Amino acid sequence: MKNFKGAAAAVAALALALAVLPFSAAKAQDFPNRPVTMVVPFSAGGPTDTVARLVAESMSRTLGQQVVVENVGGAGGTRGAGQVAKAAPDGYTVLLHHIGQATAATLYRKLPYNVLTDFEEVGLVTDVPMTMIAKPDLAPKDAAELIAFVKQNRDGVIYGNAGVGSASHLCGMLFMSALGAQMTTVPYQGTGPAMNDLVGGQIDLMCDQTTNTTGQIKAGKVKAYAVTTKQRVKSLPDLPTFQEVGLPGFEVAVWHGMYAPKGTPPEVVTKLNDALKTALQDPKVIARFADLGTEPVALDRATPEVHKQFLQAEVAKWKPVIEQAGVFAD
Amino acid sequence: MTRFVKSPKEVASGLLLIVLAAFFAWQAMELPMGRAIRMGPGYFPMILAGLLAFLGLVVLLSGLTVPADPDDNGIRFRNWPWQALALVTLAVVIFGLGIRPLGLGPSMGLAVFISALASQRFHIVTGLISAAVMVAFSWAVFIKGLGLPLPMLGPWLGGY
Amino acid sequence: MEIFDNLALGFSVAVTFQNIFYCFIGVLLGTLIGVLPGLGPVPTIAMLLPITFGLPPVSALIMLSGIYYGAQYGGSTTAILINLPGESSSVVTAIDGYQMARRGRAGAALATAALGSFFAGSVATFLLAVFAPPLADLALKFGPPEYFALMVLGLVASVALASGSVIKALAMVVLGILLGLSGQDVYTGTPRFTFDMLELADGIEFVALAMGVFGIGEIVRNLEDEHTRTVMVQKVKGLLLSREDIKRITGPILRGTFLGSFLGILPGGGAILSSFAAYSIEKKISRHPEEFGKGAIEAVAAPESANNAGAQTSFIPMLTLGIPSNPVMALMIGALIIQGIVPGPNVVNEQPNLFWGIIASMWIGNLMLVVLNLPLIGMWVRLLTVPYHILFPLIVGFCCIGVYSVNNNAIDVFAMALFGVVGYVLVKLDCEPAPLLLGFIIGPMLEEYLRRAMLISRGDPLVFVTRPISATMLALAAIALIVVLLPSVRRKREEAFKE
């Protein structure tokens, strides 16, 4: 027991020594002088993670410091976003989040941070289009027939999605709201299992990011009806948009944006934004984005101001859709 | 133990299971049940909690009726290594508390050192050496080698 | 024969200096992170993704695959040596492997694991080469009702994992399912058993539960009476396998390989079931079922072969359909996209170099693993001669960093502390933790598939018996349950009569 007391004293001394060590203050001018952490609020390997890693790799070259991607998955992206909201506002912790940042404001009624006031927007990154796909033997031949088919069969049509708050969930909600017809919604844990059941013919319909669907569409394993963006998608030129086939105003894209915690010095945000813009002009990033079926946003949209306005507009756009569907994540 | 309790271990297990079942049932009460066709989030947990309570009851009754194995020497609370249990648990908890604010180095050192205290053969020198070796090893492997996004020293200690 | 042309193409890709080098780096790293408890292939591959930017796609994928199956290989080492299963697949190995280690047979257990894995890996790679497309189609036939039936079958089989009371084992399974249900409900997003903590929205982390209940619980148990007991192991007996051992493991390795190869194809958690199922089957057909749970070599051979075979065949849906069957495969798809390859069913035809190159490299990688690991066994076993009072604080340290690294989430560390206490109490009450862990893994899937099946069938429960695959499996489960319960009922009765 003698040892034990000595040891306890040692622990106490160590703890005291640690507590009195000086704090160090970082200066905004020499930003960045150590690695920057880019939090991705989803698990590694997904489309958002891929976007983040491509951007981070290019930004590392511009900033002269490693931009390290850290996956903080969980709770539909809100855990990672919450972590960044509470991080030190020094620019060394940034968030790369998608459309879920805007919908979380309504989906989560007990969110421990405020989507609109707890972040400094750095800039928009990219808009990933989505495609409406179906099991190979679903009856409708084209998008117009599909719309009639869903209106007629309503909850006889089984719509799969990748979980509450996922892009496919949002697209489905908006589609049903536009048609005024409720389908039977079957959620999955992520796109993989949902795609499996769609290709296997267990479910009828799904709307997902082109990143996930292009390979299946080109191989003819699923039927594709339309894209959800305003313009047609370069990698799938034959697919009409929903606006072309009679759903005016129907538009969903999985837009991505970068955020820093509220209170990050403006000059640091500017440096981050410059690095982001450089990344969006990087031929390598553009080429890889093209493989994802997307392209970087126009440079005038990759600014903090446009990003802020867009975020506010998106929060407002989704609020009634989610409330009408009556689905909340808490 | 009284003669009424034939196998204290079984009785204790049974009681524990019933308590746990009650806890889960209580937590599941707030959740919507739904129907079998469209089950709510509370449907499955509630059925399972009922099943767990039933199994706990069976275990409890068997503990009251069926005698224990002759080589079963009971629960013997007094022989439990309370100090070791507390120290190892404390070590892990301190690691969890320290990892963000203090960084990997100090929390790892504290965790290893405190858990070393749990042994009756603890010696301060070996304890400190173990802690130091483990700190150095985790720096080399986890931070340098594998590049985990973890600072060696956290924000409280001048790191980030 | 087309297959030989394809394999020749594959080997011509895999056997270049560069690709052999990356394959070696992959399996070496995989073994390392497999041995380190908690640190799994997902964070490692995620961290290495940026490095693969600069590599040709084939080399990148060869290295990343090597990490994955290398980690499956290494994961059994800590499970056997210190009762620390870092991944779901090594939980079963820990049951009898650790008991073998305590009896001084750690060397034999590790050798069995290595040889079993090598054999299984080779066979499964061959199956992958020959039957990948038809097997992938089979996986598509599995809808929600089939998966539900498969999970029920798995749960019933899991009761055989326990060597004690069947009723208690069932209770542990149910408790495991309840713990597994924690987190956001997939269907409504409602949080369950999260106590309003956002950190628990994705539920309790498996690694925290497994390392707490097995690893930390075992440490406390070993500290019970250090003075009176040689804590760790008896004197280490021969490192290699005797002729008797080899005879005993041949059958289990063959059966484990077969089972694992088949279940590995199913994306909805089939691979996880394979090691549990292999254990249960061996216990049922063994001539010495009483040895199971006390260090039976068959109980190491079969699950290890099964999980390694499953690790190889789980590439089938990813490579042939472009559909990830687990988080690691999702990462591989991410790596493909970063490389500019659109994953999907066309990869086999459009990128034959890639497809066949990866398959050929898997065989080479498995060979490297066995060459790498057999000499290491001596070193691992020597690790056990380190006095326990020095060894265990290091294990605690590894557990902490390991569990933290899974999600970068401190709540997982606290959960591990709690489950350490729980694990110790359960062992003291003779409640075995293995069925609890299986319930934890399978429970959420059971509920998910049940609810999904009911939604898709519009509430018609007959869907489970009108679909032939599902009906067959449910019938098997019913038979298995009767077989498992009968002896215990009879024994109880005999005991009652004796009184």
CATH number at residue A210: 3.40.190.10
Q: Are strands A253-261 and A158-161 parallel, antiparallel or unpaired?
A: unpaired
**Domain identity same for A60 and A194:** no
Q: How far does Cα B139 stand from its chain's mean position?
A: 27
Query: What number is the average pLDDT over the span C182-191?
Result: 80
Cα C332 to the center of its chain, rounded Å? 19
Q: Number of Cβ pairs closer than 8 Å across A and C?
A: 161
In this prediction, residue C381 has a pLDDT band, given cuts at 50, 70 and 90, of confident
Mean of pLDDT values over C343-359: 83
Q: Chain C window 342-381: which residues touch B at a Cβ cutoff of 8 Å?
A: none
Band (A6; pLDDT cuts 50, 70, 90): low
CA nearest to B134 within chain C: C394
Cβ of residue A13 closer than 8 Å to a chain B Cβ: no
Q: Do B12 and C429 touch (CB under 8 A)?
A: yes
Instruction: Tell me the H-state helices in B30-103.
Output: 43-65, 82-98
Its ipTM equals 0.91
In tens, the pLDDT along A38-65 reads: 999 887 777 788 889 889 989 999 998 8
Instruction: State which H helix or E strand residue A38 sits in.
Output: strand A36-40
* Domain presence at residue A318: yes
Nearest chain B Cα to A21, which residue?
A: B157
Residue B88 has its nearest CB partner, among C187, C188, C219, at: C219
A250-277 mean pLDDT: 92
Per-residue three-class SS string for A140-191? CCCHHHHHHHHHHHHHHCEEEECCCCCHHHHHHHHHHHHHCCCCEEEECCCH
| Largest Cα span, chain C | 75
Residue C388 φ then ψ, to 5°: -65, -35
Going by their DSSP bridges, the two strands A205-209 and A223-227 should be labelled as unpaired
Give the residues across from A71 on adjacent strands.
A40
The whole domain housing A174 covers: 129-227
- CATH number, position A300: 3.40.190.150
Mutation target among C141, C318, C321 for the A interface, most CBs of A within 10 A: C321
Question: Among all residues of chain A, which has the CA nearest to that of C334?
Answer: A45
Give per-residue pLDDT as tens, C219-261.
898 888 665 445 454 555 566 788 888 889 999 999 999 999 9
Tell me if A44 and C42 make a contact (CB, 8 A cut-off).
yes
A16 within a domain of the structure (yes/no): no
Alpha helices of C36-143 — where are they, by DSSP H? 41-52, 57-82, 91-102, 106-141
Same domain, A196 and A261: no
**Residue C211 and residue C399 in contact, taking contact as beta carbons nearer than 8 Å:** yes
Query: For residue B37, which residues of chain C lie inside 8 Å, CB to CB?
Result: 454, 458-459
Q: Enter the tokens of residue B108.
A: 């790892």
C410:B44 CB<8 A: no
- Report the C-alpha dihedral over residues C350, C353, C355, C356, rounded to 10 degrees: 140
Chain B: nearest CA to C458, how far in angstroms?
7
CB contact under 8 A, A221 and C325: no
Question: Contact C43/A44, CB-based, under 8 Å?
Answer: yes
pLDDT given for residue C235 in this prediction: 56
A310 & A174 share domain? no
Residue A17 lies in a domain: no
Residues A52 and A89 in one domain: yes
A244 vs C140: which has the higher pLDDT: A244
**Which chain B residue shows the shortest CA-CA distance from C196?**
B27
- Res B69: pLDDT: 67
Mean pLDDT on C316-345: 79
In whole angstroms, how far apart are CA C214 and each of A1, C85, C132?
Answer: 29, 7, 37
At residue A227, the pLDDT reads 93
Contacting subunits of B (3+ beta carbon pairs below 8 A):
A, C
**Which two structure tokens, joined as six digits, stand for A202?**
């267990």
Number of domains in chain A: 2
Mean pLDDT value across residues C441-468: 87
pLDDT of residue A194: 87
Residue A24 has pLDDT above 50, yes or no: no
Residue A145, chain C, CB below 8 Å: the answer is: no
Band (C373; pLDDT cuts 50, 70, 90): confident
- Same domain, yes or no, for A143 and A279? no
pLDDT of residue B6: 75
Give the per-residue pLDDT at C365.
92
Q: Please, are residues C443 and C174 in contact by the beta-carbon 8 Å criterion?
A: no
Final residue of a domain: which of A211, A227, A243?
Answer: A227
Same-domain status, A177 and A104? no
Is residue A18, in this structure, part of any structural domain at all?
no
Is A167 found in the same domain as A121? no
Q: A20 pLDDT exceeds 60? A: no
Say if A239 falls within a structural domain. Answer: no
Note whether A60 and A147 are same-domain residues: no
| pLDDT for residue A22 | 40
- Cβ of A24 within 8 Å of Cβ of B158? The answer is yes
Nearest to B124 among A7, A34, A68 (CB): A7
d(CA A117, CA A102): 12
Nearest chain C CA: its distance from B1 CA (Å): 16
Distance between CA C261 and CA C253 in Å, rounded? 12
A279 located within any domain: yes
| Chain B residues lying within 8 Å of A22, measured CB to CB | 158
Where a domain ends, among A189, A211, A227? A227
**DSSP helix/strand/coil, C203:** coil
- Ranges of residues in chain B with a pLDDT under 50 are 1-2
How far does the CA of residue B75 sit from the closest CA of chain A (Å)? Answer: 26
Closest alpha carbon to A259 in A94, A102, A103, A124 = A94
For chain B, positions 86-105, list CB contacts with chain C under 8 A: 88-89, 91-93, 95-97, 99-100, 104
Average pLDDT of the segment spanning C402-425: 90
Question: In this prediction, what percent of chain C has a pLDDT beyond 90?
Answer: 21
The answer to whether the Cβ–Cβ distance between B13 and C429 falls below 8 Å is yes
Q: Are residues A124 and A257 in the same domain?
A: yes
Q: Which of C174, C193, C417 sits opposite B55 (nearest CB)?
A: C174
> Among A175, A210, A227, where does a domain finish?
A227
Which among A45, A214, A329 has CB closest to C330? A45
Chains B and C: how many Cβ contacts under 8 Å?
204
pLDDT bucket at A193, cuts 50 / 70 / 90: confident
A165 and A121 belong to one structural domain: no
* β pairing state of A67-71 and A93-97: unpaired
Of residues C465 and C198, more confidently modeled: C465
B110/A11 Cβ within 8 A: yes
Tens of pLDDT, residues A210-223: 888 888 898 888 99
Average pLDDT, integer, range A120-131: 92
Q: What distance in Å separates residue B86's CA from the closest CA in chain C?
A: 9
CA distance C426 to C176: 13
Q: What is the pLDDT of residue C231?
A: 46
Give the 3-state secondary structure of residue C242. Answer: coil
Phi–psi pair at A223, nearest 5 degrees: -100, 130
The string of pLDDT tens digits covering residues C62-119 is 999 999 888 888 888 888 988 888 777 788 898 899 999 888 888 899 999 999 999 9
Shortest CA gap C128–chain B (Å): 31
